[in-house]
């Protein structure tokens, strides 16, 4: 019997899985840590949503990255599940994106725009809230304080574990630290330990588990979360920031090992793993454009095209690669459809399960996908089509024109690669769509921490068109 701790087991398994994938073996024989038996479930699948914060799709092997093996264990996992080829996030930073993902509503509809002073209102039904109402025991844990309980992201959970390490702009409370040289955000493996403890606790299922991992987000932080065995990788493959790639390799190894470990716990063999990112990272790949290193400021592919994998070791889909572009808005409806639970009426997304099951070639989705950001002093909105992207940059931004049209798959560099003057006929319907879409999606009033709107206030705002359900032709801000 192994004397390893869970964390040592996961890390050891990560190395084994990565080695096996690199050799084309897809894994190898592993030690098994002691497990506490758990009563079998009645047959409803467990659901585990793992958000890999700040992960770009194009840096993964299963999404076409070919400079080096940045994610071999993860690629092996993805090959056994379902890969969504092209996924567009509805925002390029965490809180609006995650709020949108969990509600299947656009960020402006749920009133999430800025870092400070905005929470998700409890009137918006999130995926964990719906699952709890349908008999699921919900456990959540986050390394990103942007979705701590302070911002109401704990709603629907039986247990929700906040990050005790906060960003510098946040107010400290007892038992918390500010991120700095002596404190970094919780590691993925520490959170996976907590999930395994929960899985072994004997709490009856079915279970919904939600994890937000921050290793990739923290690639640039001096007090690195990258373990020593990964710190010399990818220094000679032509990447400007190898530490980003190191963090991708470490976290994808850890996730692949965790899914393998958890699915072997009694009662967890039938588990749907949903592995996704909320947004990407610029990595200075947009020559001549200011603020192109991180995220939040731009709506280019590097920041809003993200991975999304579905995997259940007991389930094989008819279509294992979905080539039709989709949005993160489709995630919650797809999960509910998989579980046989009715989609909430307010949700804007569409289940893509019929395509995954091979019942249809394509599901009915809008021609244009909207994504926008109000990060700090940014104000940008974009429409993504199958082959083009049209951007409206409503605040000044060095290197960007007021309006721009960019081709799919071409590294966008603002005015340098703008195609608007040469292909204005393509932009016309996209511009028109944004105008109509904004009329149909009035900007909701943000909710401050500690105070939610009364029903009277909600009714008044709906009556004048500031919240969904009211007069959509009313004047907007």
Tell me the C-alpha distance between 186 and 142, whole Å. 8
Instruction: Take residue 136 and report the two structure tokens written for it.
Output: 């699921």
Do 43-356 and 369-463 fold alike per CATH? no
For residue 116, pLDDT beyond 90 = no
User: 3-state class of 404 per DSSP?
Assistant: strand
Q: What are the residue ranges of helices labelled H in 348-453?
A: 353-356, 424-440
Tokens 């199958």 found at:
386
In this predicted model, what pLDDT tens digit does every residue of 141-158 receive, in sequence order?
Answer: 999 999 999 999 999 999
Instruction: Take residue 145 and report the two structure tokens written for it.
Output: 């304080």
Q: Which residues, including other chains, have CB under 8 Å from residue 217's CB and lie 6 or more apart?
A: 53, 54, 144, 185
In Å, what is the CA distance from 356 to each residue of 82, 94, 315, 405, 438?
A: 8, 27, 12, 32, 31
CA–chain centroid gap for 294, Å, is: 16
pTM (2 decimals)? 0.87
CA–chain centroid gap for 399, Å, is: 28
The band of 318, judged by pLDDT with boundaries at 50, 70 and 90, is very high
In this predicted model, what pLDDT tens digit does every residue of 359-409 receive, in sequence order?
Answer: 999 999 999 999 999 999 899 999 999 999 999 999 999 999 999 999 999
Asked whether the beta carbons of 51 and 309 are under 8 A apart, the reply is no
For residue 455, pLDDT beyond 90 = no
Q: How many helices (H) and strands (E) does the chain have?
A: 12, 17
Instruction: Take residue 455 and report the two structure tokens written for it.
Output: 């029903």
The band of 460, judged by pLDDT with boundaries at 50, 70 and 90, is low
Instruction: Take residue 313 and report the two structure tokens written for it.
Output: 């070791």
pLDDT of residue 449: 80
CA dihedral 58, 60, 62, 65 (to 10 degrees): 60
Q: Which helix (H) or strand (E) holds 274?
A: strand 271-276
The domain covering 43-356 belongs, at the CATH homologous superfamily level, to: Alkaline Phosphatase, subunit A (3.40.720.10)
Phi/psi class of residue 26: alpha, beta or left (left: φ > 0; alpha: ψ in -120 to 50)? left
In Å, what is the CA distance from 423 to each residue of 253, 404, 455?
A: 43, 10, 48
- Architecture in CATH for domain 369-463: 2-Layer Sandwich (3.30)
Asked whether the beta carbons of 59 and 244 are under 8 A apart, the reply is yes
Query: What is the rounded radius of gyration, in angstroms, for the C-alpha atoms of the chain?
Result: 22
Q: Which of 132-141, 180-189, 218-227, 460-469 has the highest mean pLDDT?
A: 132-141
CA dihedral 341, 81, 60, 380 (to 10 degrees): -20
Lowest mean pLDDT among 21-30, 184-193, 196-205, 263-272: 21-30
Lowest mean pLDDT among 8-17, 31-40, 86-95: 31-40
In this predicted model, what pLDDT tens digit does every residue of 47-91 receive, in sequence order?
Answer: 999 999 999 999 999 999 999 999 999 999 999 999 999 999 999
In this predicted model, what pLDDT tens digit does every residue of 11-28 receive, in sequence order?
Answer: 555 554 544 443 332 333
User: 3-state class of 96 per DSSP?
Assistant: helix
Query: 209: closest CA among 51, 396, 9?
Result: 51
pLDDT of residue 93: 97
In this predicted model, what pLDDT tens digit does every residue of 208-241 receive, in sequence order?
Answer: 999 999 999 999 998 789 999 999 999 999 999 9
Asked whether the beta carbons of 375 and 146 are under 8 A apart, the reply is no
Backbone angles phi, psi at 203, to 5 degrees: -65, 130
* Beta strand pairing call for 326-327 and 165-166: unpaired
Tell me the C-alpha distance between 370 and 138, whole Å. 30
Sorted by where each begins, the domain ranges of the chain are 43-356, 369-463
For residue 34, pLDDT beyond 60 = no
């Amino acid at each position: 019997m192994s004397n390893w701790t869970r964390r040592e087991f996961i890390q050891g398994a990560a190395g084994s899985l990565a080695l096996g994938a690199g050799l084309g073996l897809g894994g190898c024989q592993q030690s098994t840590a002691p497990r506490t038996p758990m009563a079998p479930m009645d047959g409803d699948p467990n659901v585990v949503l793992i958000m890999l914060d700040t992960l770009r799709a194009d840096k993964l092997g299963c999404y076409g990255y070919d400079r080096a093996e940045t994610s071999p264990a993860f690629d092996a996992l993805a090959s056994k599940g379902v890969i969504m080829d092209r996924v567009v996030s509805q925002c390029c930073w965490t809180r609006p994106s995650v709020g949108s993902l969990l509600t299947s509503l656009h960020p402006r509809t749920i009133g999430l725009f800025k870092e400070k002073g905005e929470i998700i209102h409890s009137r918006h039904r999130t995926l964990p809230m719906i699952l709890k109402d349908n008999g699921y025991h919900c456990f959540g844990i986050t390394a990103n304080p942007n979705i701590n309980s302070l911002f109401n992201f704990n709603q629907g959970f039986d247990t929700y574990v906040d990050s005790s390490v906060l960003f510098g702009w946040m107010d400290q409370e007892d038992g918390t630290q500010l991120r700095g040289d002596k404190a970094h955000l919780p590691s993925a493996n520490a959170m996976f330990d907590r999930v395994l403890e929960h899985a072994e606790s004997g709490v009856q299922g079915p279970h919904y588990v939600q994890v937000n991992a921050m290793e990739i987000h923290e690639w640039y932080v001096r007090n690195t979360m990258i373990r020593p065995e990964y710190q010399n990788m990818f220094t000679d493959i032509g990447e400007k920031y190898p530490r980003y790639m190191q963090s991708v390799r470490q976290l994808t190894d850890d996730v692949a090992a965790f899914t393998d470990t958890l699915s072997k716990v009694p009662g967890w063999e039938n588990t749907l793993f949903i592995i996704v990112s909320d947004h990407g990272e610029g990595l200075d790949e947009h020559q001549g454009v200011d603020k192109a290193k991180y995220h939040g400021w731009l709506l280019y592919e590097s920041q809003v095209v993200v991975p999304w994998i579905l995997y259940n070791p007991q389930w094989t889909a008819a279509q294992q690669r979905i080539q039709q572009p989709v949005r993160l808005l489709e995630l919650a409806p797809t999960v509910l459809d998989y579980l046989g639970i009715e989609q909430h009426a307010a949700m804007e997304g569409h289940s893509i399960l019929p395509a995954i099951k091979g019942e249809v070639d394509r599901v009915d989705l809008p021609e244009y996908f909207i994504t926008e950001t109000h990060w700090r002093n940014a104000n940008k909105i974009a429409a993504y089509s199958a082959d083009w992207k049209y951007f409206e940059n409503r605040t000044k931004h060095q290197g960007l024109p007021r309006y721009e049209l960019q081709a799919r798959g071409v590294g966008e560099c603002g005015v340098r690669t703008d195609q608007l003057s040469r292909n204005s006929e393509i932009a016309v319907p996209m511009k028109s769509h944004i105008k109509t879409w904004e009329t149909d999606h009035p900007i909701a009033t943000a909710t401050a921490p500690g105070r939610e709107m009364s029903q009277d206030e909600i009714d008044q705002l709906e009556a004048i068109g500031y919240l969904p359900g009211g007069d959509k032709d009313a004047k907007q801000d």
